[in-house]
Amino acid sequence: MPVLRRLTASEELFRVLRDAILTGQYAPGEKLPPQRALAQEYALNATTVREAIKRLEQLRLVEVRHGDAVRVSDWRTQSGLDVIAHVLFDTGGVRHDTLDALMEARRGLLVGCAALAAARRSDDQAAELRALAATAAAPPQDANAAQLTDFAFFATIVEAAGNLVFTLVLNSTREVYFEHAAFFTTMVAPELELGPFYERAAAAIEIGDGDGAQAAVAELTLRQEQALR
């Protein structure tokens, strides 16, 4: 059984400020309260407040300028994919508009990479996909093992596509997928009978059939999306 880690004071303050920014309590360009005021309000020391502000800055939720107030950034235009997990899960429940956008982007990425993989894959990558597809099609695994297989299968497709940017995009979703694994278990539920689609995708990529690879991955990812609804 996993051990729940107790939040530090800086993490708690980070979450309070993050949620206030993401839910619009602080508008883009607005000043956050001075760090001294935050320390007094939450009974924290200056170092703890600075750590929380630094995390907000790393996510590009705020802009910190020397000698000026900490100002809220427009995260919709300034932040990257690393903010997705915070928007999706940590503002009072699952935001289904964000979930739909994430799944749509995932499907587009993976379908496109399937065609590239069919043209560029190495023999080792083809063999790895074949082995992962066989694992996915075998008698049902537990949810954790099935999720690991699913992510490894698609990560191999993206790697075989030979595009570093696509690899980095997929890497940025890893935290969302595994830190919230319980939410995504329905995507690999045995009753979906996804095994044949993994196998079709792997086979198409191995023989260089880009259209077949795209079709199999499109059907597979669409079924996974529907299972989340």
**pLDDT tens digit string along 22-63?**
989 999 999 999 999 999 999 999 999 999 999 999 999 999
pLDDT at 3 over 50: no
- In angstroms, the Cα distances linking 97 to 89, 100, 102, 226 are 12, 5, 9, 14
DSSP output for 90-150: BTTB--HHHHHHHHHHHHHHHHHHHHHHHHH--HHHHHHHHHHHHHHHSSPPPHHHHHHHH
State residue 2's pLDDT score. Answer: 37
Place of tokens 């529907």: 226
The DSSP secondary-structure symbol of 31 reads: B
HEC letters along 175-225: HHHHHCHHHHHHHHCHHHCCHHHHHHHHHHHHCCCHHHHHHHHHHHHHHHH
CATH 1.20.120.530 domain locations along the chain: 86-228
Output the CATH code of domain 86-228. Answer: 1.20.120.530
Per the CB < 8 A criterion, the answer to whether 73 and 64 are in contact is no
Across residues 9-32, what is the average pLDDT? Answer: 93
Q: What is the pLDDT of residues 95-153, one digit of tens each?
A: 888 889 999 999 999 999 999 999 999 999 999 999 999 999 998 778 899 999 999 99
Mean pLDDT, residues 166-183: 87
pLDDT in the model for residue 91: 61
**pLDDT, position 95:** 82
Considering only 90-94, 122-126, 160-164, which range has the smallest mean pLDDT?
A: 90-94
Does 5 have pLDDT greater than 50? no
Distant-in-sequence contacts of 37-42, Cβ < 8 A, 24+ apart: 38/13, 42/9, 42/13, 42/16
53 or 175, higher pLDDT: 53
Mean pLDDT of the chain: 91
- Tokens standing for 217? 């991955």
Residues linked to residue 63 through DSSP beta bridges, in sequence order: 71
- Is the confidence at residue 207, as pLDDT, over 50? yes
Q: What is the mean pLDDT of residues 145-171?
A: 95
Alpha-carbon distance of 34 to 222, in angstroms, equals 47
Q: Kindly report the number of other CB atoms within 10 A of residue 219's CB atom.
A: 16
For the chain, residues classed under CATH 1.10.10.10 are 9-78
Q: In CATH, what is the architecture of 9-78?
A: Orthogonal Bundle (1.10)
